[in-house]
Every structure is written in C-alpha cells, then in structure tokens.
C-alpha cells in the first residue's frame, strides 16, 4: 500500500516536524512517498533528512510531465479536469490566489500523471493551504481518498475553497482542541476529526543537568521572523528588563520578512549587544540552545490580518528539554502551557507582564527547575511523537482497508484526558 504525502517544498526548513513524522511512518512499515509541489528554489533546506531523498518526486516550475499530464487527463478524464477548474474559479475575485491556485493545479496534474499507475491508496497533506488544495486536486484526478492534518485555524484561500477541502476529505487530524472545534464549526462530523497531538521524541531531549551554567543567563526565542510570532513584544520586554537592571542575553533564532524591522527595533531600544538574531540554525544547534537557555519565550500574537499561531513545535521542544516556557494566551499555546504548573501564560501584546514572568524565572532557580521538570513530564505524557506515529499508522491502515475504519476505533488519539498510567509505553519514557 502506497501513501503519497504532499509537501510544498522539500526539505522545508520551517516544517521539520513534518519530515520527522514521514521518516517515522516509513520506519513503522508504511510505504510513504513524497510529492513536492514546487522547487525549494533559494530557500535554505533542512538538514538531517537525507534518508528521505530516494522517496521524493522532485518538482520543477514547469516540466514535460506537467504538459503530458495536462494532455493525458484532458483527453482521458475531462470531467475531473473541469471539476478541478471549478475549484480554481472559486477564486476569481482574488487574482493573487487565482494565479497561485492555478499553479497548484498544474503541479497536481504532474504528480497525478506520475503516480497514476503506482497503486497510491491514500493521499496525505499537512496544513489548510497549498498542500491541502493539491490533495483535493489529486483526489479528484486519481479517484483516491485524501486526509488532512490541520495545525491552525487561520486560512489564506477563500472560505468557499477551504470549506470544500475539509468537507471532501476522507478524515481529518487536528493537533489541538482549538483546531478540532474550528473544523466542527465548519460542519465536519466529529467522528471524522481525530485529535492527535503533534509530538517530539523524548530520546532527542536528554534530561537537563542540574549544574548551573556559568555566564549571563540566556532568554531564548525561536520561530520565523514574521508578524504573528510577536518577537517585537519580546524585544519590548527586554527593554523593560534592561531598565530594571536585569542582566541577561536574548537570542532569537529564525529568519523571515520582519528581520529588518526587528533589527531596527533592537537599535531603537538600545539593545545592541544584548539581543542576537543568528538566523536559522540546524536542529542540533537549536537543541543545544534549549540547554544553554534559562527561559524560553513564545510571544505569539494575532496579526492585523488575523493570522495566528497554532501550537508552535518549538514550545513542545523547549518543554521536552526541561526549559520553562513563557507563552501568550494566543491560539493553542495554553493547551501546552498551563499557567503556574509547567510555565507561565501572559496576555498577547503585553510586554510588561511578559518581562515580569521572565524576570521571576531568571531570579528563581528552584522555580525554573520545578516548572521545567513538570513541563518535561507533560510532554512525555501528552506530546509523544512515537505515540502519534502509532495512532496515525492505525488510522491510515484502517482507512486503506476494504471496510474503512469505524469511528471511535482509535484509542490512541486524543489522549489529553487520560491519566499517565493509562498511556501505553511506546518509547516515550523520560530519559
């Protein structure tokens, strides 16, 4: 049984959790192949996923396969092509998206042509964006079911298009309660939505040393330098800490279109020499920073366009490393950070409360250790990657079987209300 997993680009630096998932699904015995929708182009690739290269169907901006596929399906399956074009035409009022959706259709036709005789049983895609749209097109062209994994409630495409994508999916996976409620609000029957938390492998995050690291304490932030991440709020909090005489160093890892704005803000706030923005780093380097830092901060906001985070993977990784986290009330962050239990939650766009909590953690080593230990235990219980893979494998195999799968037949999905003793051992023990 072959499963086609669609990715926008390969290997995507900002979505390495997707690559880890694919790798583990393959190791579990599933024949997962990867369909790339567009070239990586000038973007920096993720490192450490070379083992997946043989299973990737690489994309080009335009290719002979794209033209051959267009002719093939226009002659053999004109009805399916017109059905895809109907979806494209739902965006005529928004030319920016119309052009993009048209390219996604051409890329999907290319992949459908390449995989038409390979025995693909299920198409998978992450995010309610390009990948999900391509899954819908491929589902129509190949006559195969598709499944979507949804991580956020913010959508880019017209509502009419998004509604069709989720309604036609064979099943959907939500990684947070917020997303599950969002999908139910679009009329999806609850039995078609499975809550499976995004996860990390605890074997990648050894227990934190109790020895106090020498030097200036590090405040760590990580994520794309884009508006919804709210790093301008973290910088404002750093300025408050400086005014209060707190000694610290702030490191913000990542890159994006807001780099210049944030760099200018660092200078305007007089934080030069205190704040560093080294850009993107490898997974190994990021893990090293988790263990060098005293506090991790995720200052997410809702952007003026309404864009917001789901639950950033870096929050779960920081918790797994035993690093106390200060996050905001935005999106699904409170589903992982329980205020006063494994970290602190503050209002979004509020630098003063953020500075207060950061200072408290910098000054109280015992509190850092207590919250960090609880956070690590929480990830082991709720965000175990191996358990996620087991649940997804069971769901995929059930869908691909002749009789499909029965609602409620997935005991490993949605584990948030189970006591720790009820969670089966799947390699998630704290090390």
Q: Is residue 424 included in any domain, yes or no? A: no
- Block residue for tokens 């139910």: 184
Which tokens go with 129?
A: 């964006």
Examine the domain organization and report whether 21 and 104 are in the same domain. yes
CA distance linking residue 348 with residue 333, whole number of Å: 11
User: Sheet containing 2-7: which strands, arranged edge to edge?
Assistant: 56-57, 31-36, 2-7, 120-126, 146-150, 171-174, 193-195
DSSP characters over 136-169: HHHHHHHT--EEEEE--S---S-HHHHHHHHHH-
CA distance linking residue 6 with residue 36, whole number of Å: 6
Phi, psi for 365 (deg, rounded to 5):
-60, -40
Q: What is the pLDDT of residue 396?
A: 84
CA distance linking residue 202 with residue 412, whole number of Å: 18
Q: Is residue 387 included in any domain, yes or no? A: no
Burial of residue 421 (CB within 10 Å: 0-12, 13-18, 19+) is exposed
- Block residue for tokens 């335009």: 62
Examine the domain organization and report whether 223 and 186 are in the same domain. no
Last residue of a domain, one of 195, 217, 243: 195
Q: Is residue 418 included in any domain, yes or no? A: no
Encode the chain (431 residues) as per-residue pLDDT tens digits.
Answer: 799 999 999 988 778 889 999 999 999 999 999 999 999 877 778 888 999 999 999 999 999 999 999 999 999 999 999 999 999 988 777 777 888 899 999 999 999 999 999 999 999 999 999 999 999 999 999 999 999 999 988 888 888 889 999 999 999 999 999 999 999 999 999 999 999 999 999 999 998 887 666 789 999 999 999 999 999 999 999 999 999 999 999 999 999 999 999 999 999 999 999 999 999 998 899 999 999 999 999 999 999 988 888 999 999 999 999 999 999 999 899 999 999 999 999 999 999 999 999 999 999 999 999 999 999 999 999 999 999 999 999 888 877 664 443 333 333 333 333 333 333 333 454 33
CA angle 165, 170, 174 (to 5 degrees): 75
Q: How many CB atoms lie within 10 A of CB 121?
A: 16
Last residue of a domain, one of 158, 173, 195: 195
Last residue of a domain, one of 163, 195, 227: 195
Q: Which one, of 154, 25, 140, 132, lies nearest residue 79 by Cα?
A: 140
Examine the domain organization and report whether 273 and 154 are in the same domain. no
DSSP 173: E
Examine the domain organization and report whether 167 and 268 are in the same domain. no
Examine the domain organization and report whether 309 and 368 are in the same domain. yes
Which tokens go with 74?
A: 């226009």
Q: Is residue 429 included in any domain, yes or no? A: no
Which tokens go with 270?
A: 């007089």
Q: Is residue 276 included in any domain, yes or no? A: yes
Q: What is the pLDDT of residue 154?
A: 84
Which SS3 state, helix, strand or coil, does residue 124 take? strand
Q: What is the pLDDT of residue 331?
A: 87
Q: How many CB atoms lie within 10 A of CB 283?
A: 17
Examine the domain organization and report whether 18 and 149 are in the same domain. yes
Residue 113 is inside which H or E element, if any?
helix 95-115
Q: What is the pLDDT of residue 409?
A: 33
Q: What is the pLDDT of residue 213?
A: 63
Q: How many CB atoms lie within 10 A of CB 53?
A: 11
Q: What is the pLDDT of residue 90?
A: 83
List, in order, residues 6 or more apart from 4 with CB less than 8 Å away: 33, 34, 35, 111, 115, 120, 122, 123, 124, 138
Residue 359's CATH number? 3.40.50.2000
DSSP characters over 70-89: HHHHHHH-HHHHHHHHHHHH
391: left (phi over 0), alpha (psi -120 to 50) or beta: alpha
Q: Is residue 403 included in any domain, yes or no? A: no
Q: Is residue 190 included in any domain, yes or no? A: yes
Burial of residue 385 (CB within 10 Å: 0-12, 13-18, 19+) is buried
Q: Which one, of 300, 303, 289, lies nearest residue 354 by Cα?
A: 300
Q: Is residue 397 included in any domain, yes or no? A: no
CA distance linking residue 187 with residue 269, whole number of Å: 47
Q: What is the pTM of this model?
A: 0.87
Examine the domain organization and report whether 98 and 36 are in the same domain. yes
pLDDT digits (tens, 9 = 90+) for 256-276: 999 999 999 999 999 999 999
Examine the domain organization and report whether 178 and 308 are in the same domain. no
What is the extent of the structural domain holding 275?
A: 202-381
Examine the domain organization and report whether 240 and 363 are in the same domain. yes
Examine the domain organization and report whether 286 and 343 are in the same domain. yes
Examine the domain organization and report whether 34 and 170 are in the same domain. yes
Orientation of helix 313-320 relative to helix 283-292, angle to 10°: 50
Which tokens go with 368?
A: 């850092």
Tell me the chain's radius of gyration from C-alpha atoms: 22
CA atoms within 13 A on the CB side of 402: 0
Examine the domain organization and report whether 330 and 277 are in the same domain. yes
List, in order, residues 6 or more apart from 44 with CB less than 8 Å away: 13, 280
Say how many domains are in the chain. Answer: 2
């Amino acid at each position: 049984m072959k499963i086609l997993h669609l990715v926008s680009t390969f290997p995507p630096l900002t979505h390495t959790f997707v690559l880890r998932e694919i790798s583990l699904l393959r190791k579990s015995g599933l024949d997962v192949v990867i369909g790339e929708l567009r070239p990586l182009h000038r973007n920096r690739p993720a490192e450490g996923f070379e083992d997946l290269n043989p299973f990737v169907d690489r994309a080009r901006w335009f290719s002979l396969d794209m033209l051959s596929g267009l002719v093939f399906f226009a002659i053999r399956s004109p009805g399916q092509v017109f059905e895809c074009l109907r979806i494209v035409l739902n965006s005529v009022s928004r030319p920016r998206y119309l052009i993009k959706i048209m390219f996604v259709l051409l890329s999907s036709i290319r992949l459908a042509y390449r995989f038409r005789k390979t025995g693909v049983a299920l198409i998978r895609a992450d995010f309610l964006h390009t990948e999900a749209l391509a899954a819908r097109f491929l589902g129509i062209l190949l006559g195969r079911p598709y499944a979507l994994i949804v991580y956020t409630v913010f959508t880019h495409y017209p509502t009419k298009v998004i509604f069709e994508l989720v309604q036609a999916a064979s099943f959907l996976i939500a990684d947070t309660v917020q997303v599950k409620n969002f999908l139910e609000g679009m009329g999806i029957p609850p039995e078609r939505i499975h809550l499976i938390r995004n996860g990390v492998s605890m074997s990648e995050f050894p227990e934190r040393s109790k020895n106090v690291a020498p030097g200036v304490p590090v405040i760590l932030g990580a994520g794309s330098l884009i508006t919804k991440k709210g790093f301008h709020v973290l910088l404002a909090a750093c300025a408050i800490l400086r005014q209060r005489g707190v000694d610290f160093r702030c490191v913000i890892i990542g890159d994006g279109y807001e780099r210049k704005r944030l760099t200018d803000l660092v200078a305007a706030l007089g934080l030069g020499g205190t704040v560093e923005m080294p850009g993107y780093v490898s997974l190994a380097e990021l893990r090293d920073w988790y263990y060098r830092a005293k506090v991790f901060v995720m200052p997410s906001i809702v952007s003026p366009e309404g864009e917001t985070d789901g639950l950033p993977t870096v929050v779960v990784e920081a918790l797994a490393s035993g690093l106390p986290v200060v996050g905001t009330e935005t999106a699904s962050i409170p589903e992982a950070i329980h205020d006063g239990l494994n970290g602190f939650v503050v209002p979004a766009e509020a630098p003063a409360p953020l500075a207060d909590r950061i200072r408290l953690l910098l000054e109280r080593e015992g509190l850092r250790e207590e919250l960090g230990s609880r956070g690590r235990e929480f990830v082991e219980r709720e965000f175990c990657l191996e358990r996620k893979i087991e649940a997804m494998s069971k769901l995929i195999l059930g869908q691909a079987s002749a009789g499909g799968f029965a609602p409620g037949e997935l005991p490993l999905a949605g584990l948030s209300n189970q006591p720790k003793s009820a969670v089966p051992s799947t390699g998630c023990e704290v090390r």
